[in-house]
Structure 1
Amino acid sequence: MRKFATLASTLALTSAINLAYAGEVEVLHWWTSGGEAKSVGVLKEMLEAQGHSWKDFAVAGGGGESAMTVLKTRAISGNPPAAAQIKGHDIQEWADLGFLSNLNDVAKAEKWDDAVPAVVTNVMKFNGDYVAVPVNVHRVNWLWANPAVFEKAGAKIPTTMDEFFVSAEKLKAAGIIPLAHGGQAWQDATVFEAVALDILGSEDYNKAFVMHDDAVLSSDKMVEVFTVFKKMSNYIDSDSPGRDWNIATSMVINGQAGMQIMGDWAKGEFVAAGKIPGKDFVCLPAPGTDGQFTFNIDSFAMFELSNADNVKAQKALAKTILTPEFQEVFNLNKGSIPVRTDMDMSKFDSCALDSMATFKASNQSGDLVPSMAHGLATTGYVQGAIYDVVTNFFNDPDGDPKEAVTKLARVVKAAK
């Protein structure tokens, strides 16, 4: 009996210790399908293995608009989740309103500043303090191409804009849609910023879309950006309006179209279709942007909590997200690359290896630039204003590049 009593008291004590240690994190995200959901499941398991509990707060919708509406309601009522999937300038806006928690102790202990490039960590900080943790890096300025289609048309997969138009003409003559595209504002902006990166160069790209420099926004170079961008519309099919990005990707996969300019999430579509990189499809920098890297980062902002145990769980979550173990699993599923530059990349494919090599090199050369199209370069207000000008111009048969540039400079000035 004494043995049972001792065992019972030991179990009770262990349980009490676990309860004292255990906290709960409620996590708001919109990763509800495929590899993304699988990755979230791994993060949940890793947190629970540390004695904490995970409360899933998933709001479907790929762009996160629905999730942000729910978050605002919760935060205003004084009941925010522990962590929310927020990115770019929205992180600073939430921090400026006083909602976010300080993660400096975790960042210092885990040496985040050594493992993650400053251009990324700057997005995660407010007034020099960490308030969010980055999950991954997407490269946006990719060209995806079907080599069999190019061979059939006797065309070369382009590495420059001049080559793009030569190849596009050959594809068109062979009855193939040269450029798979979905006529949605964010997709138009994705192609536009790739053209801008080529023509403006990294420095002027930053001046235009990060610093909102009026001289660059109004420049002859920007007129050239709009001129080239407009010319590309001649190589898109008439069914493009409203088409989702993944449907455009499938057009390249099945040989209906030759190429697509899209971020590395497109790779997941090729892989899911059983295609092999370097054989069935190729990934190249968008024409003219070799050595440059337009980044899009997914991240979790951490909200101020009052419960001490939940704060411990929240900090454990922040720490876990940037561990090499989670970084590997998540990014293999997502098609992106780890945000840490000290990772073992042996399990990643050739596209990811190219992406990581360029990520590191561009960080040194000044060619690592934030995506305007995906909310990393500027505020939502400025981004929305640019979207309007870009997509209206692209869809107007009589659109004038000089007029578009005048409008662009005006709306950016008004929105910033």
Structure 2
Amino acid sequence: MKIKHWGASLFLLLLSQQSMAEGTIEVLHWWTSKGESNAVGVLKKRMETNGHYWKNFAIAGGGGQSAMTVLKMRAISGNPPTAAQLKGQDIQEWGRLGFLTSLDAIAEQEQWDSVLLPEVEAIVNDLQLVKYDGHYVAAPVTLHRVNWLWINPHIFKLAGAKVPTTLAEFFVAADKIKAAGFVPLAHGGEAWQDATLFEAVALSVLGAQGYMKAFVELDLTALSDAKMVEVFRQFKRMKQYVDPDSTGRRWNQATEMLIHDQAAMQIMGDWAKGEFASENKVAGKDYLCVPVPGTQGMFSYNLDTITFFKLKGNEQDKIAQQDLARTLLTPSFQRDFSLYKGSIPVRQDVPLTDYDACSLASMQAFKIAAKNSALVPSFSHNLATSSDVQSAIIDVVSHFFDDPTADPKAAAMRLSRAVKSAM
């Protein structure tokens, strides 16, 4: 009887300790592809190992528009998640509305001010990506290069095509690939993917300084002048190399076309590398990564941040929230997460010994671009402008790409007017 009583007491004690330690963690995100899901699995495992309950809150859609709609509904109803994948000026908007919680204590304990790559520190400070009113409310998680051209070398060899370094060479290679019976450019029929492609063309045509003037400074003349007309003209040429079945295709499905020898190229950020890795493809052998033609030396960046909300729940949930914030910037998590995600770590002390050729090239390009004033924030991924301006740009770009009769000069004028009305 004593043994049974002791066993029951031990069970109740362990159950009590578990309930005291366990808090619920719910992170709203749109990381739902194979590579992204593997990366999220790293975070889930860390949180569960620390004794917390992971409540999955993934909303499919690479651009995040659906996720933001859901987030607004949850926040307005007084039930926000633990944290959410938020970026750019949206963080300031949520801060002004009073929804965000301070991470200052964690940031001080973990020395966030001194562990980030200096170039990342400059970015997050200049664009106010992690602080609101001087207080930490978000943690930077990944650094991505957007202006990558992914190549299937097998198809290039069969077509006798040369890896392009200029837009003119891109179209020559695309013609050869098309003549050989392959899809030259894998692309998905989603507005944000159109914008990503347009952004790459714009960076190639305008250069880093011209891009900044148009899409960061929002100079209305730069948005409608002859150079922008040329951007639209070159962008329109891309359409003839996209297959007619692209409508509704997601970005990772476009990447799979390269993986399965159905398409030769894709212009997409380096989260695409996570898809290659999930299929055990080797960089430099099974696929190639080169800068978008004409953007050598430039780096269009997408910096993912996790933003934290005020919670009304129990203390366990708040403890779990702080634990989540602490974990996101630890060296081991940064390493493991970015290896799956395709990104490069934002900390300066993460060894790059396990990273492949594309990640090493990305880090080198990032540092070189930073020295040469050639780092530019991605407007297509909500880093350069407000959501309203971003939506206005994407709307013009996507409609233009879908209209075979669209005029580049008229589109440039329409872009300038749309941005002016959204400012």
Q: Which amino acid aligns with 1:301?
A: T
Which of 172-181 and 218-227 deviates more? 172-181
- What is the SS of the residue equivalent to 1:216? coil
Matched, 1:298 2:304: yes
Query: In 2, distance between residues paired with 1:253 and 1:308?
Result: 47
Structure-1 separation of matches of 2:280 and 2:106: 40
- Measure the CA separation in 1 of the matches of 2:275 and 2:16: 48
8 Å CA contact retained: 1:143, 1:283: yes
In structure 1, list runs of 5 or more residues that go unmatched.
none
Distance 1:83 1:347 in 2: 29
For residue 271 of structure 2, give the secondary structure of its aligned residue in structure 1. Answer: helix
Going from structure 1 to structure 2, the CA distance change for 1:25 and 1:173 (only over 3 Å counts) comes to: closer
Counterpart position of 2:113: 113
Amino acid at match of 1:78: G
TM-score (norm 1): 0.89
What letter matches 2:391 in structure 1?
A: G
The alignment of Structure 1 onto Structure 2 pairs a total of residues equal to 415
1:12-411 to 2 correspondence within 5 Å?
23-32=23-32, 34-50=34-50, 53-63=52-62, 64-116=64-116, 117=120, 118-121=122-125, 122-305=128-311, 310-411=317-418
Long gaps (5+) in structure 2? none
Distance 2:310 2:161 in 1: 56
Measure, in 1, the Cα distance between the counterparts of 2:20 and 2:182: 64
Structure 1 residues 323-332 or 210-219, which shifts more?
210-219
Shift of 1:392: 1.8
Rounded Cα–Cα distance in structure 2 between residues aligned with 1:273 and 1:7 = 48
Task: Give, in whole Å, the separation in 1 of the partners of 2:254 and 2:56.
Answer: 30
Contact 1:140/1:296, CA 8 A, preserved across alignment:
yes
Give the Cα–Cα distance (whole angstroms) in 2 for the partners of residues 212 and 57 of structure 1.
38
Whole-Å Cα distance in 1 between the matches of residues 208 and 364 of structure 2?
A: 18
Q: Which moved more, 1:278-287 or 1:310-319?
A: 310-319
Displacement of 1:309: 5.1
Is contact 1:138–1:265 with CA below 8 Å preserved after alignment? yes
113-122 or 317-326, larger mean C-alpha shift: 113-122
Distance in 2 between the 1:244 and 1:310 partners? 34
**Change over 3 Å in CA distance of 1:177–1:333 after alignment to 2:** same
Map 1:1-12; keep pairs closer than 5 Å: none
User: C-alpha offsets along residues 127-152 of structure 1, whole Å, 9 cap, x if unaligned?
Assistant: 33221112212221110111222222
CA distance in 2, matches of 1:102, 1:227: 47
Superposed CA offset, 1:138-178 (max 9, x none): 22111011122222222211011121122222223333332
Aligned partners of 1:33, 1:400: CA distance in 2, in Å?
35
SS in 2 for 1:311: helix
Alpha-carbon distance change, 238 to 23 in structure 1, aligned in 2, over 3 angstroms = closer
Q: Distance in 2 between matches of 1:301 and 1:342?
A: 23
SS in 2 for 1:369: strand
| One-letter amino acid of the structure 2 residue matched with residue 74 of structure 1 | R
1:352, 1:379 → 2: CA distance? Answer: 29
AA paired with 2:99?
A: F
Q: Secondary structure at the residue paired with 1:393?
A: helix
Q: Secondary structure at the match of 2:266?
A: strand
For the residues of structure 2 that align with 1:250 and 1:59, how far apart are their CA atoms? 21
Q: Offset at 1:399?
A: 1.8
Distance 1:29 1:165 in 2: 36
CA distance in 2, matches of 1:66, 1:393: 23
Amino acid at match of 1:327: Q
Deviation at 1:110, TM superposition (A): 2.1
What is the identity, as a one-letter code, of the residue corresponding to 1:27? V
Inter-CA distance 10–399: structure 2 relative to 1 (3 Å threshold) = closer
Q: CA deviation at 1:21?
A: 6.8
Distance in 1 between the 2:358 and 2:404 partners? 36
Distance 1:47 1:253, change over 3 A: closer
1: CA distance, partners of 2:56 / 2:180: 49
Deviations 1:273-321 (A, max 9, x none): 3432111210001111112111223221111235555434322211110
Q: CA RMSD in A?
A: 3.0
Structure 1 position 106, deviation (Å): 2.1
Aligned partners of 2:24 and 2:55 also within 8 Å = no
Contact 1:137–1:338, Cα closer than 8 Å, also in 2: yes
Whole-Å separation in 2 of the counterparts to 1:161 and 1:309: 55
State the SS of the aligned residue for 1:217: coil
TM-score when scaled to structure 2?
0.87
